């Protein structure tokens, strides 16, 4: 299966919706993950009740579009010698380990804003005049902050990622500030018109949610992150300068996402933000699959994760928790 997705056959992307339908059907039948109809969307909406079918359908669509967006990003920027579609599969399989992929929520939409932001960072790497891309990158980052306010602490992550690619000029800094400000201007304007008070909770966590397979998920993510970083070290020695800049920006994302995830784990015993690591990991992990040194390990371990992503529904009763 991995070889099929590593190939240059676009039709394999038709299998991605099949994976999503299977995961949703198995979860519906075995209730491995309890769906929470009441959702919190950062500054915009608090405690909105979503129809179960609508929430599930929208979540699957967002995961699908995110996986396609990541794959497009990789192929458009010529990360590898030929087009590959394994990135989409990696994203969907690892996302199936997290509660946030089964019902529409702010974390899932945060993934979308991050993917759009990375697209802009990579486009910035190709252009002399990067004002438009910098504006868009900070705009998408700010949208993410409005969905998940604690994400504001990762602003240094974006600044570092940009400076790794190029030094900001004064005009580009103004564009960055403008892009970052727009979502908050809209939010304040809407709040003023509605007469609602500013004061959405800065940190939101569903404390009732229990990750039944906590240890498997965290160990899997960390293992594959380490594997991708080791394989990247060899790739950077022979990659073009442009590709090296993109890789360094992704490593910065991994570092900051891990710090945010660790904070959530320590403070709330939740691991939803560990799912953010899947975004840069999905891109870098391809180097491991194509590596002579790490290829075998990557293949075997990924098959283990694929197998577990299915059999987990049969391993736990709905009322059990670890």
- Tell me the pLDDT tens digit for each residue of 125-153: 777 778 899 999 999 999 999 999 989 99
Position 217 in a domain: yes
Residue pair 258/221 in contact by the 8 Å Cβ criterion:
no
- Residue closest to 160 by CA, chosen among 168, 151, 148, 169: 168
For residue 320, name the pLDDT band (cuts at 50, 70, 90). very low
Closest by CA position to 136, among listed 176, 191, 186, 168: 176
| Count: domains in the chain | 1
User: Is position 320 within any domain?
Assistant: no
Q: Is the pTM of this model over 0.85?
A: yes
Q: What is the pLDDT confidence band of residue 322, given thresholds at 50, 70 and 90? A: very low
Note whether 211 and 99 are within 8 A (CB): yes
Average pLDDT rounded to a whole number, residues 45-52: 81
* pLDDT at residue 24 is higher than 80: yes
Tokens of 261: 């995830």
Q: Has residue 240 been placed in a domain?
A: yes
Determine, yes or no, domain membership for 322. no
CA atoms of 128 and 123, how far apart (whole Å): 10
- Name 45's bridge partners: 41
- Is residue 43 in some structural domain? yes
Here the tokens at position 104 are 């529409």
Residues found in the chain:
322
In a domain, 248, yes or no: yes
Residue 258 lies in a domain: yes
Closest CA to 16 of 53, 55, 64: 64
Residue range of the domain that includes 173: 2-315
Structural domain includes residue 321: no
CB 312 within 8 A of CB 213: yes
On the question of pLDDT at 209 being above 80, the answer is no
Q: What confidence tens digit (pLDDT) does each residue in 237-270 have?
A: 777 778 888 899 999 999 999 999 998 888 877 8
């Amino acid at each position: 299966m991995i070889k099929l997705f590593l190939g240059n056959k676009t039709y394999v992307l038709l299998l991605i919706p099949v994976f999503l339908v299977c995961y949703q059907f198995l979860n519906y039948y075995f209730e491995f993950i309890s769906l929470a109809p009441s959702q919190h969307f950062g500054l915009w909406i608090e405690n909105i009740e979503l129809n179960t079918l609508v929430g599930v359908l929208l979540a699957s669509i967002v995961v699908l579009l995110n996986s396609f967006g990541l794959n497009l990003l990789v192929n458009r920027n010529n990360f590898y010698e030929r087009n590959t579609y394994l990135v989409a599969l990696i994203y969907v399989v690892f996302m199936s380990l997290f509660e946030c992929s089964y019902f529409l929520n702010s974390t899932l939409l945060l993934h979308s804003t991050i993917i759009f932001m990375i697209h802009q960072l990579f486009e910035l790497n190709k252009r002399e005049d990067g004002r438009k891309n910098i504006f868009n990158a900070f705009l998408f980052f700010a949208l993410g902050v409005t969905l998940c306010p604690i994400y504001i602490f990762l602003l240094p992550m974006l600044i570092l990622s940009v400076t790794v690619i190029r030094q900001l000029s004064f005009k580009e800094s103004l564009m960055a500030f403008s892009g970052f400000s727009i979502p908050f201007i809209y939010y304040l304007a809407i709040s003023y018109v509605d007469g609602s008070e500013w004061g959405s909770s800065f940190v939101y966590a569903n404390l009732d949610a229990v990750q039944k397979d906590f240890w498997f998920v965290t160990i899997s993510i960390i293992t594959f992150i380490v594997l991708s970083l080791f394989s990247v070290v060899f790739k950077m020695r022979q990659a073009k300068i442009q590709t090296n800049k993109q890789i360094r920006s992704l490593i910065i994302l991994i570092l900051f996402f891990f710090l945010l995830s660790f904070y959530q784990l320590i403070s709330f015993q939740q691991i939803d933000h560990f799912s953010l690591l899947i975004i840069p990991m999905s891109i870098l992990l391809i180097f491991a699959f194509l590596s002579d040194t790490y290829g075998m390990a990557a293949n075997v371990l990924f098959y283990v994760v694929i197998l577990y992503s299915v059999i987990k529904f049969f391993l736990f009763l709905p009322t059990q928790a670890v």
